[in-house]
């Protein structure tokens, strides 16, 4: 039997190379050997109060981008969270046993309180209960989580265990972290800092759907230093970043070539960046073409989300019926 895996995707902007190599590439493999549910967490994103058009466009963009990356609607169930109302019912039920103290202790909540003291809404506080509902609605065994989501996973486990204990029934499986086996590939940013991310500022990340001209411009502007002064010198972080980026998009020959130039103190960053830009463009071009095609094909996107919602609801309706019965919400 295949294991059930649930993964939520926040509809916030465009995917960059860091997202692709950090998670999505692994999702493609994960879906081959598991029963995967991928959903776009549009309710979660309401905590930040997007405009209706932004919300809709962001959902559409991430849907097109995940499909372009190879999330396969025939292999996996792909749906939009708000298409499955049973999740909101389970969220309500779980909230009755979610305590203020434990919700307030979640680090990401505390960060939000500090950073945006004027928008500490109940949705933010109960973000972990909604996440738990997302996952246990399908009685999932596993959730792929990054470092930043580990505490949320711990909360899901707490809520699932609490339900089982309260009703003296081994009903919900306790979800575990899905491990991707091999080391996760971390993609550095272009500004010399450690990680590619859009919050690090424009210019730091390269998007899968980005225009080649813009990619060239960003890479040519990437941070470097004054150059090596000794043979075989260790590379400082800013330079190592460029090499690390090369490792995921360029051929081994190219990397060896620039590595030798570095070691001989003959490297010219301009040349290296030109090559890197062309290799990034070749790598991203097929994604970009697919994203553009998919965003135009609303009929297809509608079909994918309708089929996804049907499949997701089949599983969700079954769970919520059983949960109601367990809780004592029963028909006369």
Q: Which residues contact 134 (CB under 8 A, 6 or more apart)?
A: 6, 8, 39, 41, 81, 87
Per DSSP, what are the bridge partners of residue 6? 37
Nearer to ligand TRP, 127 or 287 (CB): 127
Active site residue 195: yes
Q: Find the shortest distance in angstroms from Cβ 43 to ligand TRP.
A: 9
Question: What stretches of 70-120 show up as alpha helix (H) in DSSP?
Answer: 85-95, 100-104, 107-115
Tokens of 32: 């081959």
Q: Which of residues 161-190 bind ligand TRP (CB under 6 A)?
A: none
Neighbours of 104 (CB within 10 A): 11
> Does 10 participate in binding ligand TRP (rule CB under 6 A)?
yes
Q: Find the shortest distance in angstroms from Cβ 75 to ligand TRP.
A: 19
* Catalytic residue (one of 25, 198, 223, 311): 198
Of 5, 8, 222, 250, the residue at the interface with ligand TRP (CB under 6 A) is 8
> Does 149 participate in binding ligand TRP (rule CB under 6 A)?
yes
> Does 7 participate in binding ligand TRP (rule CB under 6 A)?
yes
Q: Which of 51, 69, 283, 33 is nearest to 178 (CA)?
A: 33
- Burial class of residue 42 in the structure, from the number of CB atoms within 10 Å of its CB (0-12 exposed, 13-18 middle, 19+ buried): buried
Alpha carbon separation from 136 to 26, 106, 202 (Å, rounded):
22, 20, 37
Active site residue 112: yes
Q: Which of residues 42-61 bind ligand TRP (CB under 6 A)?
A: 44
Q: How far apart are CA 308 and CA 287, in angstroms?
A: 22
> Does 41 participate in binding ligand TRP (rule CB under 6 A)?
yes
Nearer to ligand TRP, 87 or 246 (CB): 87
> Does 134 participate in binding ligand TRP (rule CB under 6 A)?
yes
Active site residue 110: no
Neighbours of 73 (CB within 10 A): 18
Q: Find the shortest distance in angstroms from Cβ 155 to ligand TRP.
A: 11
> Does 131 participate in binding ligand TRP (rule CB under 6 A)?
yes
Single out the segment in contact with ligand TRP by CB under 6 A; choices: 110-118, 130-138, 251-259, 285-293.
130-138
Q: Kindly state the DSSP code that residue 10 receives in the 8-state scheme.
A: -
Q: In what order do the strands lie in the sheet with 77-80?
A: 77-80, 35-40, 4-9, 142-143, 176-177
Nearer to ligand TRP, 93 or 135 (CB): 135
Q: How far apart are CA 325 and CA 135, in angstroms?
A: 20
Nearer to ligand TRP, 135 or 280 (CB): 135
Q: At what angle do helices 269-296 and 212-220 cross, to 10 degrees?
A: 150
Nearer to ligand TRP, 41 or 294 (CB): 41
Single out the segment in contact with ligand TRP by CB under 6 A; choices: 4-12, 109-117, 165-173, 239-247.
4-12
Nearer to ligand TRP, 36 or 41 (CB): 41
* Catalytic residue (one of 60, 139, 176, 195): 195
> Does 6 participate in binding ligand TRP (rule CB under 6 A)?
yes
- Burial class of residue 319 in the structure, from the number of CB atoms within 10 Å of its CB (0-12 exposed, 13-18 middle, 19+ buried): buried
Residues that bind ligand TRP (CB under 6 A): 6-8, 10, 41, 44, 131, 134-135, 143, 149
Catalytic residues: 112, 195, 198
């Amino acid at each position: 039997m295949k294991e059930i895996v649930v993964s939520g995707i926040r509809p916030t902007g465009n995917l960059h190379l860091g997202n692709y190599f950090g998670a999505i590439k692994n999702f493609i493999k994960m879906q081959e050997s598991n029963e995967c549910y991928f959903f776009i967490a549009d309710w979660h994103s309401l905590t930040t109060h997007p405009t209706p058009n932004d919300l809709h466009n962001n959902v559409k963009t991430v849907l097109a981008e995940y499909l372009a990356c190879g999330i396969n609607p025939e292999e996996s169930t792909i749906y939009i969270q708000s298409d499955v109302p049973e999740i909101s019912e389970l969220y309500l039920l779980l909230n009755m046993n979610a305590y203020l103290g434990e919700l307030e202790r979640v680090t990401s909540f505390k960060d939000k309180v500090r950073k945006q003291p004027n928008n500490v809404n109940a949705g933010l506080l109960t973000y972990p209960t909604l996440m738990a509902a997302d996952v246990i609605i399908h009685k999932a065994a596993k959730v792929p989580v990054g470092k930043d989501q580990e505490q949320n996973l711990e909360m899901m486990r707490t809520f699932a265990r609490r339900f089982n204990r309260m009703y003296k029934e081994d009903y919900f499986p306790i979800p575990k972290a899905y491990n991707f086996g091999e080391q996760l590939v971390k993609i550095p940013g272009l500004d010399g800092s450690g990680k590619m991310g859009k919050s690090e500022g424009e210019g730091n990340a390269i998007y899968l759907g980005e225009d080649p001209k813009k990619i060239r411009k960003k890479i040519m502007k990437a941070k470097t230093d004054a150059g090596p002064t000794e043979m075989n010198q260790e590379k400082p972080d800013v330079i190592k970043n460029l090499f690390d980026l090369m490792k995921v998009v360029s051929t081994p020959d190219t990397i060896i070539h620039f590595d030798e130039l570095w070691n001989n103190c003959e490297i010219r960053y301009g040349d290296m960046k030109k090559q890197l830009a062309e290799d990034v463009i070749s790598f991203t071009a097929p994604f970009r073409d697919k994203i553009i095609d998919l965003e135009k094909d609303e009929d297809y996107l509608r079909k994918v989300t309708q089929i996804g919602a049907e499949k997701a609801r089949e599983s969700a309706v079954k769970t919520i019926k059983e949960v109601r019965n367990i809780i004592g919400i029963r028909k006369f």
